[in-house]
Amino acid sequence: MRIIALETSCDETGAAIVELQKDKRTIKVLSNITGTSSKLHAKTGGIIPEEASREQVKAIIPVIIEALLSSHGKEIKNWHEDFTTAAGFLKNDIDAIAVTRGPGLIGSLLVGVETAKTLSFSLNKPIIPVHHLLAHIFANFISSPKIKFPFIALVVSGGHTDLLLFEQVDKYKWLGGTRDDAAGECFDKCARLLGFAYPGGPKISKLAEKGISKKVPLPKLMTGNDFDFSFSGLKTAFMNIVKKEFKISNKPNEHGYSWIHTNIDTLPKEKQQLLYDLCASLEQTIGEVLVRKTIAAAKKYKIQTILLGGGVSANQVLRTEFERQAKNELRNAKLFFPEKEYCTDNAGMIGAFALLNYKPVPWQKISAEPELYFD
Domains of the chain: 2-139+342-365 (3.30.420.40), 151-338 (3.30.420.40)
Residue 228, pLDDT score: 95
Residue 220, pLDDT score: 84
Give ∠ CA 150-153-154 in degrees, rounded to 5.
170
Residue 78, pLDDT score: 86
Helix, strand, or coil (residue 212): coil
Residue 158, pLDDT score: 85
Contact 227, 175 (CB under 8 A): yes
pLDDT tens string, the chain, 375 residues long: the values are: 999 999 999 999 999 999 999 998 999 999 999 997 766 666 666 788 888 999 999 999 999 999 999 999 999 888 888 999 999 999 999 999 999 999 999 999 999 999 999 999 999 999 999 999 999 999 999 999 999 999 999 999 988 999 999 999 999 999 999 999 899 999 988 988 888 877 788 899 999 999 999 999 898 887 788 999 999 999 999 989 988 888 766 665 554 555 565 567 788 899 999 999 999 999 999 999 999 999 999 999 999 999 999 999 999 999 999 999 999 999 899 999 999 999 999 999 999 999 999 999 999 999 999 999 997
Residue 330, pLDDT score: 93
Helix axes 49-70 and 79-93, enclosed angle (nearest 10): 80
Residue 6, pLDDT score: 99
Residue 251, pLDDT score: 60
Distance CA 242, CA 248 (A): 8
pTM: 0.93
